[in-house]
């Protein structure tokens, strides 16, 4: 056994002690249907399966667990997960919390109006038909002989208890556009499990037409932090070489006045300055509000 393997039981015991001191806070945050003991057990299991979590900053591990408790999701790898990534800004390793497709579907079902919701990825070799119009339908027959083929699309179907059905289909190109906005742990998850992230993406797009709730909105907001923010943005005035922070309303006024010569509505984006992490971000035209009385846009990259 390696030294790290020998040290693991002691590290897990120390984590158990830290978590036990948080029991009261976890219990206050968790919904009634999730006992605090069960929630803590899923954390310990996650750590045993991912020992690298113990080497990361302990404060970010505990705070990520608390965020999952507030969202009412178990850190079991289906509803939500924990991952480690390198914090280039502050140095060292940080733990991040990520809601997963199972957690989002759980919150959608809890509205009480949805009888079923599911999502699938379509691959080369599958039979797939998608029709719009008066008689919408999706026909998908997966190919058992061509497993592991190239993905072509992803789709989600939600059936209401009153019989209504809502569908969403996204091409790989549309999915990749969302993936391109991923940052930090979100980017890592796309690399390790494209299929599950594609399902989550199409479910998130479909959720815009499903009953909303504070619980669902909170989980979606938790997921949004893993993608580039839409606003507020920093707009660079290249004529003077200075950067100033502007609101969406101010940006709209600049566009209306012709100070930003951008062809909005034709696929072009408004270029902005660097984020704190040093990555360039853009503001999509659809994200710019036309109402100058509004000072912010909801950070929903989907």
Q: What is the mean pLDDT of the chain?
A: 79
Residues 29-57 pLDDT 10s? 999 999 999 999 999 999 999 899 998 88
Mean pLDDT of 149-153: 92
The answer for 99, left when phi > 0, alpha when psi is -120 to 50, beta otherwise, is beta
Mean pLDDT of 217-242: 64
Residues 243-277 pLDDT 10s? 444 455 554 555 455 444 444 444 444 343 334 44
* pLDDT value at residue 115: 93
Given pLDDT bands bounded at 50, 70 and 90, which one contains residue 191?
confident
Would the CA dihedral through 67, 210, 290, 258 be positive or negative? positive
* pLDDT value at residue 7: 61
The rounded percent of the chain whose pLDDT value lies above 70 is 73
In sequence order, which residues have a C-beta less than 8 Å from that of residue 248 and are 6 or more positions away?
231, 232, 288, 289, 294, 295, 296, 297
Instruction: Tell me the whole-structure pTM to 2 decimals.
Output: 0.69
Q: Is the peptide bond before 279 cis (omega within 30 degrees of 0)?
A: no
* pLDDT value at residue 290: 40
Residue 298 scores a pLDDT above 70:
no
Residue 196 scores a pLDDT above 70:
yes
């Amino acid at each position: 056994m390696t030294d790290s393997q020998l040290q693991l039981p002691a590290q897990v015991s120390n984590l158990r002690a830290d978590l036990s001191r948080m029991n009261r806070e976890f219990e206050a945050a968790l919904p009634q249907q999730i006992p605090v003991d069960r929630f803590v057990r899923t954390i310990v299991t996650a750590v045993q399966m991912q020992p690298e979590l113990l080497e990361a900053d302990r404060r970010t591990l505990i705070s990520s667990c608390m965020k999952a408790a507030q969202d009412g999701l178990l850190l079991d790898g289906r509803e939500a997960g924990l991952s480690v990534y390198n914090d280039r800004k502050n140095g060292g390793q940080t733990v991040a919390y990520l809601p997963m497709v199972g957690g989002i579907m759980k919150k959608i079902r809890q509205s009480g109006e949805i009888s079923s919701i599911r999502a699938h990825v379509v691959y080369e070799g599958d039979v797939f038909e998608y029709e719009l119009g008066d008689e919408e339908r999706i026909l998908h027959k997966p190919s058992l002989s061509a497993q592991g083929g190239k993905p072509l699309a992803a789709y989600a179907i939600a059936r209401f208890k009153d019989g209504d059905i809502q569908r969403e289909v996204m091409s790989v190109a549309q999915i990749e556009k969302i993936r391109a906005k991923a940052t930090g742990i979100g980017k890592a998850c796309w690399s390790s499990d494209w299929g599950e992230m594609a399902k989550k993406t199409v479910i998130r797009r479909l959720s815009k037409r499903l009953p909303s709730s504070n619980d669902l909105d909170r989980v979606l907001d938790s997921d949004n932090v893993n993608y580039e923010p839409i606003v507020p943005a920093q707009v660079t005035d290249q004529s003077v070489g200075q950067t100033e922070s502007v609101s969406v309303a101010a940006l709209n006024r600049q566009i209306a006045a012709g100070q930003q010569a951008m062809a909005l509505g034709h696929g072009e984006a408004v270029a902005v300055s660097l984020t704190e992490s040093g990555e360039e971000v853009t503001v999509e035209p659809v994200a710019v509000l036309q109402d100058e009385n509004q000072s912010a846009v909801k950070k929903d990259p989907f």
